[in-house]
Structure 1
Amino acid sequence: MVDRHVKLKLESINRTYAQGAGELRILQGADLEILSGEIVALVAPSGAGKSTLLHVSGLLERADSGSVTICDVPTDDLSDRERTLVRRQHVGYIYQFHHLLPEFNATENVMMPQLIAGQADRVAKARGEELLSMMGLKDRGTHRPAQLSGGEQQRVAIARALANSPGLILADEPTGNLDPETSSVVFDLLADSIRNHDAAGLIATHNHDIAKMADRVLTLKDGKLVPFTF
């Protein structure tokens, strides 16, 4: 039996925002564990807190209270710099919009997070070419984003998210701009990549067909994570 590790653990997460003279409570005691090789889909209406949950999970913002552990690293008492290092080492992000750098080609875009982490150019390029090949883009490495289709751009974004072999992949509507057929292809590639790299995935989506392809589907109710029923 494969030994599966907890890649993301949220305990009693609370997050409130000021709203006029009052406050807006988004997360109220949210708990979550995701194991290696597991993909969890998060389905909830706009404004329910999906993006907030992803941002807290990926250390892009701090919870008001509660505990976040990523790949066995407790993060609650870390400085901003230390949080950045954990994020860089252990977390890969994929957004609805690919956010590829337009002046660089596909291979260079996948190389970028590796170079920031201190990897040598030669090694980063080889890794970039390997990931693009895995995404079915072996012959598109020298193309800039504007020369790629929407599906190809998002596959490059997935490759970039995997570049530093993160243990946790966070995706916010990763197929939101794609047609149904392309969405399915892109999600399959994302899911296979997460499982093949012994990572874990938390994917926020409005697409129920995509959500059904995950191992578990959750929603936010009264600020807590609960199973979602289709």
Structure 2
Amino acid sequence: MTPTDIPLLAASDLTFSYVAGQPVISQLDARFYRGTVTALTGVSGRGKSTLLYVLGLILHADEGHVLFNGSPANTMSDSARARLRARNFGFVFQDAALDPTRSVLDNVVETALYRGQPRRVAIARAHDLLEQFGVQLRATHKPGQISGGQAQRIALCRALLADPAVVLADEPTGNLDPVTTELVIDALKHHAANGSCVIIATHDPVIAANCDQHIVL
């Protein structure tokens, strides 16, 4: 990687506030390259989750730009941003964000609908991921019938379903034991090594120390 390489994802002079005049993110510049894993750290309330949502085009920046492949993405229309998210971004939310009314398998494959991915292809890929992360036996269960750690692994399966170019993971190992934490981090590193970029919000200094880039908020 050289300084002239175009980052896959970048923040340019990014500022975001929930309340006017009280920025959570202020004039942030950051670059995220293919093949890398970046850790976001900082005490609670410093904006780690918020930054993931802004980078993932879920929240609108007050100022500055989010660039995808060198082009401003946050100024696109709502529909264009939604298409870009569906095709190129995978999210692991801090609370897993599984639909309690649907099965584990349906939760994993639901994003395929927004990409126009054939359901049979999505189901085959979902079963492979559920097996990889040790939750295949929970495929027919509802989220209320599984543990928090299992829910987090299932959320990771959903995020990786379409082999997204960007994975944004908010405390993906928060409810996991050390062995499963290692499994999850290794999977995210492997995903990045295949040409994606992964950004992890974490409080774990060991995880941060093992990432390619570390941003402290």
The gaps in structure 1 that reach 5 residues or longer are 221-230
- Choose from 56, 67, 70 the match for 1:69: 67
SS in 1 for 2:168: strand
Match of 2:170 among 165, 169, 172: 172
SS at the partner of 1:31? strand
The question of whether the paired residues in 2 share the 8 Å contact of 1:96 and 1:175 is answered with no
Counterpart-to-counterpart distance in 2, 1:139 and 1:17: 41
Separation of aligned partners in 1, 2:127 and 2:139: 7
Aligned pairs for 1:19-34 within 5 A: 23-34=21-32
Match of 1:193 in 2: 191
The equivalent of 2:150 in structure 1 is 152
Please say if residues 71 and 167 of structure 1, whose CA atoms lie closer than 8 Å, have aligned partners that are also in contact.
Answer: no
TM-score (norm 1): 0.82
- Judging changes above 3 Å, is the alpha-carbon distance between structure 1 residues 191 and 146 closer, same or farther for their aligned structure 2 residues? farther
Matched residue, 1:14:
15
CA distance in 2, matches of 1:155, 1:17: 30
SS at match of 1:45: coil
Larger deviation, residues 64-73 vs 204-213: 64-73
Cα separation, partners in 2 of 1:148 and 1:187, compared to 1, 3 Å: farther
| Match among 111, 119, 127 for residue 121 of structure 1 | 119
Task: Compute the displacement of 1:5 (Å).
Answer: 6.2
Normalized against structure 2, the TM-score is what?
0.86
Shift in Å, 1:214: 1.4
How many aligned positions are there? 214
**Of the candidates 185, 197, 201, which is equivalent to residue 204 of structure 1?**
201
- Paired with 2:131 and 2:75, the residues of 1 have a C-alpha distance of 39
Alpha-carbon deviations, 1:168-221, whole Å to 9, x = none? Answer: 11111122233444333332333333434x21111111111222221121102x
CA RMSD of aligned residues (A): 2.3
Partner of 1:228: none
**Aligned partners of 2:212 and 2:185: how far apart in 1?**
13
Q: Which runs of 4+ in 1 moved over 6 A?
A: none
